[in-house]
């Protein structure tokens, strides 16, 4: 019973406990990121988020919310592209929130509020938004997706835009759900793996 894990595995584990750091361009300008194992796409920005950002029409004074922010790329980009607005980043994972806060600070973004929230349940009641962004995970279930959409609709201003990127397997569901909740849905872009869908609060 004297078994011990091999030394090379222990050495790797020490490295895995260290923060992952990288720099990557977003919309032609660099951001630096710190992440950790256990957060979605820790070594580089995921293709779905990058695709989504390519198709968002940002307005300088947009007030936005990033639903399920992970370590922050959607909300960070919106804060940079919409400097006159205020930007809320939320996630139900406390580690994601910690790294999103750190990344916003390290990139000099002061017009942000990053905090723990399961959907909108910890978002101040008086906050409203002109722009909602989300890289919706496929595994949380349609009930959670509907709650996101319904709660977002209640907090969005007239003319507000909700952009979502999903795997292609969810694109028909998103079209149907957006149409139910918002009365409209536009497929902005479909690629090999991901689809960007837009709904507008009329």
CATH of the domain at 177: 3.40.50.150
Sequence length of the chain is 202
Would 22 be classed as within a structural domain? Answer: no
Residue 66: both structure tokens together? 């990033």
Residue 113 pairs in a beta bridge with 88
As a whole number of angstroms, the distance between CA 193 and CA 172 comes to 14
In the block, residue with structure tokens 């909108």: 120
As a whole number of angstroms, the distance between CA 184 and CA 165 comes to 16
Would 117 be classed as within a structural domain? Answer: yes
Note whether 26 and 81 are within 8 A (CB).
Answer: no
Would 30 be classed as within a structural domain? Answer: no
* Confidence at residue 2, expressed as pLDDT on a 0 to 100 scale: 85
**CA end-to-end span of the chain:** 68
In 3D, which of 34, 164, 50, 163 has the Cα closest to residue 104? 34
Q: In Å, how far are 36, 127, 143 from 113, measured between CA atoms?
A: 21, 11, 26
3-state secondary structure at position 162: strand
The number of domains in the chain is: 1
Would 148 be classed as within a structural domain? Answer: yes
Would 4 be classed as within a structural domain? Answer: no
In 3D, which of 58, 57, 56, 30 has the Cα closest to residue 45? 30
* Confidence at residue 171, expressed as pLDDT on a 0 to 100 scale: 94
Give the DSSP H/E element, type plus range, for residue 181.
Answer: helix 171-182
Would 79 be classed as within a structural domain? Answer: yes
In the block, residue with structure tokens 């950002």: 53
Would 93 be classed as within a structural domain? Answer: yes
Q: Give this prediction's pTM.
A: 0.94
Would 3 be classed as within a structural domain? Answer: no
* Confidence at residue 139, expressed as pLDDT on a 0 to 100 scale: 75
Note whether 186 and 197 are within 8 A (CB).
Answer: yes
Instruction: Kindly give the parts of the chain with pLDDT less than 70.
Output: 1
Note whether 26 and 45 are within 8 A (CB).
Answer: yes
Range of the domain at 158: 45-200
């Amino acid at each position: 019973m004297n078994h011990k894990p091999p030394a090379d595995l222990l050495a790797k584990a020490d490295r895995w406990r260290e923060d992952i750091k990288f720099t990557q361009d977003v919309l032609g300008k660099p951001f630096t990121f710190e992440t950790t194992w256990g957060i979605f796409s820790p070594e580089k920005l995921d293709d779905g988020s990058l695709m989504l950002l390519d198709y968002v029409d940002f307005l300088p004074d947009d007030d936005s919310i990033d639903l399920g922010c992970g370590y922050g790329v959607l909300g960070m980009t919106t804060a940079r592209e919409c400097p006159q607005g205020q930007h809320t980043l939320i996630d139900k994972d406390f580690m994601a929130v910690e790294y999103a806060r750190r990344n916003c600070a390290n990139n000099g973004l002061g017009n942000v509020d990053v905090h723990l929230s399961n959907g909108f349940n910890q978002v101040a009641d008086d906050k409203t938004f002109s722009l909602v962004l989300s890289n919706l995970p496929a595994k949380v279930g349609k009930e959670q997706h509907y709650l996101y959409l319904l709660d977002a609709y209640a907090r969005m201003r007239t003319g507000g835009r909700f952009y979502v990127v999903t795997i292609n397997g969810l694109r028909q569901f998103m079209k149907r759900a957006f149409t139910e909740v918002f009365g409209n849905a536009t497929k902005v872009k479909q690629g090999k793996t991901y689809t960007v869908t837009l709904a507008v609060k009329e």
